[in-house]
Amino acid sequence: MQIIYDMKLFKSLLLPLFGSAVLNVCGQNTAPTPVVPPSLPPPAAKTPAGEKEVAVIKTTEGDMVIEFWDDAAPNTIASFKKLAKTNFYDGTCFHRVIKGFMIQGGDYLSKDPAQEAAWGTGDPGFTLKAEFNNHPHVRGVISMARKGGQNDSASSQFFICHGNPSSLDHQYTTFGKLIKGDDVLEKIATTPTHPPDRPDKRMGIISIRIVPASSVK
């Protein structure tokens, strides 16, 4: 999944992502960081009827908590929750990081460092109808990545804004915001990278758990 950004600073994002084109990591001078299987948290408790849920994104750099905008993108949120509850995201990583713009994850291929050249092309085998809304892309907002130029092509990959990329408004589906862990977002977004926007150190997503909002302090 590719996010297109029309500012000159992000022209490098205009790369073909699907079909015959594959992200190229030629010129990388360092070997991939070995992945140490983390200890996963226990399954989340069932949310009481009527209580709001949040997503706890446990990363190698700390935890982030996402609040959902249920009225803005209900189908997108339902899909994200379903994937999280089936452990789809566990062991993946933030495979694209651009300081001042966003951090992107959610590709199951990123579980395997040997497939780094293909990171960003994986999906769960389905796509979602776009749910563009009036929530702007500002720091901490979570939005769905998609194939360039194709509105109804989002699936599992998502990004969290580090900057305020307003040019993405009404072109990508925003569906929530960060309510805890801005310091973690900062750590991931400012980590050193190598082409094509790959973190030098693995920014792992240990797990994403959907939990009752009242359980998060």
For 126, residues 6+ apart whose C-beta sits below 8 A from its C-beta are: 155
Sheet of 158-161, strand order: 92-93, 204-212, 53-59, 62-68, 174-180, 141-144, 158-161, 102-105, 96-98
For 79, residues 6+ apart whose C-beta sits below 8 A from its C-beta are: 128, 156
> Rounded to an integer, what distance in angstroms lies between the CA atom of residue 93 and that of residue 107?
8
The pLDDT profile of the chain, 217 residues, written as one tens digit per residue, is 554 444 433 333 333 333 332 223 233 344 444 444 445 555 555 666 678 999 999 999 999 999 999 999 999 999 999 999 999 999 999 999 999 999 999 999 999 999 999 999 999 999 999 999 999 999 999 999 998 778 899 999 999 999 999 999 999 999 999 999 999 999 999 999 999 999 999 999 999 999 999 999 7
* pTM for the whole structure: 0.79
| Single-letter code of the amino acid located at 127 | T
149 sits in the region (left: phi over 0; alpha: psi -120 to 50; else beta) called: left
